[in-house]
Amino acid sequence: MAFGLLHQFLMGETIDAYQYFGAHFMVLEKMSQSQVTLKNGQVRTKMVKEKVPGVMFRLYAPLAQDVSVIGDFNSWNPETHKMTKIDDAGVFECFIPDVKQYESYKYHFKNARGVYVDKADPYAFFSEHRPLTSSRVFDIENFVWHDDLWCQRRTRNFDQPMSIYEMHLGSWLGKFDGRFLSYEEIADHLIHYVKELGHTHVELLPIYQHPFDGSWGYQATGFFAVDSKYGNPHQLMSFVDRLHQAGIGVIFDFAPVHFASDSFGLINFDGHAMYEYADDRKYTEWGSLQFNYGDNPVRSFLMSVVNYYLSYFHMDGVRIDAVSNLLFYAGNKERGQNSDGIEFCKRLNSLIHGRHSEVMMIAEDSSDFSGVTRPLEYGGVGFDYKWDLGWMNDTLKYFSKDPIYRKYEHHLLTFSMAYFYSENFILPLSHDEVVHGKGTIINKLHGDYEMKFQTIRNLYTYMWAHPGKKLNFMGNELASFDEWNESKSLPWILRTFPKHDSILRLVRDLNLIYKYEAAMHVEEYNPNGFNWLMVDNHDQSIFAFERKYQDSHLIFVFNMTSNYYDYIRIGAITPGTLEEIFNSEKDVYGGSNLYNGDLIRVQQEAGPEGRPCSFTIRLASNGALILKYKK
């Protein structure tokens, strides 16, 4: 590593640490003596350049001593390949000829406590599959991509539709003959399904190496090593490449807060708390180790992980997990702001956006910290988007109530728009809402079997109608009553039941309307495009609002009770003619087929809540409508 890059690493300012540390295939040129016999019989010695293929191993371990590389290539003998300390900062290296792809290795050294340990490579690009724990040599170069057109066109344009299908690779289709499907095998089925649903992106739960499948990838042991149970790095590249060619973006989850406590991993790496805190912040609420994001080399390590997946795997964005723990100590506002974590977030967003101006930085943040998506130059933290967990909690709480009592909880559906324009929000119904005994989305909803299906149709329509990008976890579109289990496949048999398959049809149609109607995604973070039409009707629990952008002008109406209205008047601002383009109670969605078949006149007749115009419609029990102004 050039001195400048090493200095940047030690100062916490590089996103390229993986290009130097770890195991890299290379051809080393060295000078050797060669004897040449001249015509007169004399023998002379000359120096010649010799090219030697092999692998350069480099390790950062400031307090390590007597460091060796052990592996398949030297029968795990620590005396064969000793590493040389090349810098007082604690950088060791060793070039080993003729190392082969996939050979396993570890670093063997005496740590600061005088104990010899074997550690996996923190910068390894591949790892053995559990229960084995060694790193594996892998050449990540030379993959042939076919997504140039996609990469040229992608942008962080906030006016583009974004409907994300969040997924866990291992449990989407489940195992086949006792084994996990590979990245490519999953892509064979996923591409068709995501395009059928109409989602624009998939978001993958962490796809780096972790020792326990039940962790879903969040408690990792190898951050640069892709999850080996699905294949090698080139196979993941192929997965992304194929999705891009099909017009589907890919976002990955990254957890910079914590890592697994397995002894072969990062914990007490060189005998001291090298990656984690050394004080009472050492352990997180999950029992894992908390990264010390105030330590500069740790910052370089974590930021380089993000850059690695964006650069080598062409990811379109990254969701940063548990950002509230970075903004506040232990995510607790009462403990005060975490200056180290805030600085880390700002530095991460600055450097990543500087290198990848077209990718999205997304914060999963449950706090009310101000300016999470505000640009750095305006005093913000610099993320592009933030999950609106407040909207999620309020919405699910509202829909879980008996409709008789929803009039007392009216504010739960109106409050989100009071703060919506403070950040660039994504509306999530994520994996966190369908695990750990919380029940599935449909199970959370009030009512008997039939009412639950009415209500979930209403809920999803409300979600797509509400400003903000969309995220739905896999299986939500099937209206499954079985809570997600990471060790089981989604219950695909539900597609043979019309009630469940109709919910998938509803999600597909909502995605189509969302992408087609500019009013639903263009300038949605601009308050000029949104107006409440009916916001104070507590007694009937009916809501209505409009969204507009240029020629795209829509009105959304929601009946949150079981009452049916053959005739109800809704206020409006603009006169004209409306056409019903979506009704959650259509029979194709499993509904009663109570809809407005004729065009609807918006007359210049004062309506409820002081609106200058009004119109009348039929409104089904728990029904949701999308009405469009005709040109």
Residues in the chain: 631
Assigned token pair, 180: 């996990």
The tokens 């290296």 sit on which residue? 93
Q: In terms of DSSP bridges, do strands 201-204 and 249-254 run parallel, antiparallel, or are they unpaired?
A: parallel
Give the DSSP letter string of 571-629.
EESS-EEEEEEEETTSGGGTS------S-EEEBSS--GGG-SEEEEEEE-TT-EEEEEE
Sorted by sequence, the CB contacts under 8 Å of residue 226 that are 6+ apart come out as 125, 126, 207, 208, 209, 232, 233, 236
Q: 305, exposed or middle or buried, with CB in 10 Å at 0-12, 13-18, 19+?
A: buried
Distance CA 570, CA 17 (A): 60
Which residues, other chains included, contact 50 with Cβ-Cβ below 8 Å and sequence gap of 6+? 29, 30, 31, 32
321 is catalytic: yes
User: Which residue in the block uniquely carries the two structure tokens 């629990």?
Assistant: 541
Identity at 335, one-letter amino acid code: R
Closest CA to 219 of 208, 204, 230: 208
Q: Could you give the angle at the alpha carbon of 61 between the alpha carbons of 228 and 263, nearest 5°?
A: 50
Task: Determine the 3-state secondary structure of 63 from DSSP.
Answer: coil
CB 248 within 8 A of CB 202: yes
Determine the Cα–Cα distance for residues 103 and 139; give it in Å rounded to an integer.
11
- β-pairing, 84-87 vs 91-97, is antiparallel
Q: What is 254-314 written as a DSSP string?
A: E--SEE---TTTTTTTTSS-SSB-SSTTSB-TTSSEEB-TTSHHHHHHHHHHHHHHHHHS-
Helix (H, G, I), strand (E, B) or coil at 188: helix
Cα distances from 625 to residues 141, 510, 529, 604, in angstroms, run: 52, 11, 19, 21
Q: How many other β-carbons are positioned within 10 Å of the β-carbon of residue 587?
A: 13
Is 364 one of the annotated active-site residues of the chain?
yes
Q: How far apart are CA 406 and CA 121, in angstroms?
A: 55
Q: Residue 458: which of 473, 446, 474 has the closest Cα?
A: 446
CA distance 468 to 425: 5
Task: Give the gyration radius of the chain's Cα atoms.
Answer: 28
**Exposed/middle/buried for 123, CB within 10 Å: 0-12, 13-18, 19+?**
buried
- Rounded alpha-carbon distances, angstroms, from residue 424 to 80, 138, 242, 469: 55, 39, 29, 9
From the candidates 295, 321, 384, 585, which is the catalytic residue?
321
Asked if 135 and 106 count as a contact pair (C-beta separation under 8 A), the reply is yes
| Cα distances (Å, whole numbers) of residue 269 to 19, 83, 215 | 20, 17, 22
| Helix count and strand count (H, E) for the chain | 14, 29
Catalytic residue, candidates 166, 295, 364, 394: 364
**Looking at the annotation, which residues are catalytic?**
321, 364
